[in-house]
Amino acid sequence: MMKRIVVEASASSANLGSGFDVFVIGLNDPRDSIELLALESQESEVNLNYKNGYVIPGIDATAAGAVAKAVTNQFNLKYKIIVTINNRIPIGVGLGSSAASSVATAVAMNRIFDLGLSDEMLLSVAVEGEYAASGARHYDNIAGSLQGGFRIVHQRPLNTVGFPPPLGMTIVVVTPEIKLPNRKTEYARSLLPKQVNLDKMTKNISSATRVVAGFAKGDIAMIGSGLEDSVVEPARKVMIPWFDQVRDSALQVGAAGVFISGAGPSIAAVVDGLKIDPGRVQSAMAKCFADHGISAKGFITTVGGGARIVEEQ
């Protein structure tokens, strides 16, 4: 007997500056989808394909494959599983592409085998994909990709709290075309300080609590003012030439705040779309990169996303 399911999961922007590994927003676009076929078999087996021809670095090193294998082993499933990823989220630019395929695979396995996994259990399975892709079990992108909206991740015990976005909250994402090391997130995490001084910790708590208060009050300006990060972005911005100038260019045309999306190099600006034209913010950021000889691509989206089952047979 063969079972088939198609699941979509969204891109996400993690950290929001001050909330390293804790804050994330799901994005309404772009989304990855995966098709999962399960055929009864004597053995457990996982095969992986990309619809658009990306090279597969090996099942264990590939997020969706790692998740399918983890679930297969945990539940002793005797099936041949074929996962085909239709990848629309650009890979390795800080938009949670590995999280989206991990989440979509976890949701697909849960549904097709009727495993009854809660959101927390889905997160703890999907994180194996993040571990395969980046060498770290960070839950922020997978929470945004699974649950959507703004999520605050608590790791031990694992759970998340969420807020819907304020009306008009718009996200402008600009991605510079720059060369980055392989396994970029692992590299970006290796740049981080091992210790943080008290002054920086105080500043970050102040910022992060403004982000949360801003979502609770529906205040985009307050969210923007809380994106300032004294710990992670100062260490990582060496990866993104002209980061400060690009951030300033967005603020000058009215962005409420700017942050490195996840481990970068994409930069996300939060804009009150009811007051400011997000297209102007995108153009200002892209022009700033262009003025310094760097091409950049951008798009405009809103906070939302999450995972959903699209087809099942």
User: Annotated active-site positions, please?
Assistant: 130, 185
User: Which span (137-145, 148-156, 161-169, 200-208) binds ligand HSE, by CB under 6 A?
Assistant: 137-145
* Shortest reach from residue 111's CB to ligand HSE, in Å: 26
Residues numbered 175 to 234 that lie near ligand HSE (CB under 6 A) are 185, 188-189
By CB under 6 A, name the one of 129, 224, 262, 273 that touches ligand HSE.
262
* Shortest reach from residue 289's CB to ligand HSE, in Å: 21
Interior angle at CA 12, CA 9 and CA 219, nearest 5: 125
User: Length of the chain, please?
Assistant: 313
Residues numbered 92 to 121 that lie near ligand HSE (CB under 6 A) are 94
* 73 three-class SS: helix
Q: Which residues pair with 4 in a beta bridge?
A: 37
Buried b (16+ CB within 10 A) or exposed e, 35-73: bbbbeeeeebebebbbeeeeeeeebeebbbbbbbbbbbe
Quick check: 109 and 309 in contact, CB under 8 A? no
By CB under 6 A, name the one of 31, 138, 210, 247 that touches ligand HSE.
138
- Give me 53's structure tokens: 């021809």
Determine the number of helices (DSSP H) and then strands (DSSP E) in the chain. Answer: 10, 11
**Interface with ligand HSE includes 21 (CB under 6 A)?**
yes
Closest residue to bound ligand HSE by CB: 262
User: Closest CB to ligand HSE among 20 and 289?
Assistant: 20
By CB under 6 A, name the one of 6, 11, 14, 126 that touches ligand HSE.
14
Residues numbered 166 to 185 that lie near ligand HSE (CB under 6 A) are 185
Bond preceding residue 176 cis, omega within 30 of 0: no
User: Which span (63-71, 134-142, 171-179, 286-294) binds ligand HSE, by CB under 6 A?
Assistant: 134-142
**Checking phi first, is residue 157 left (phi over 0); if not, alpha (psi -120 to 50) or beta?**
beta
* Shortest reach from residue 89's CB to ligand HSE, in Å: 12
* Shortest reach from residue 46's CB to ligand HSE, in Å: 24
Write a three-state SS string for 208-231: HHHHHHHHHHCCHHHHHHCCCCCC
Question: Residue numbers of the site for ligand HSE (CB under 6 A)?
Answer: 14-15, 20-21, 94, 138, 140-141, 185, 188-189, 262-263
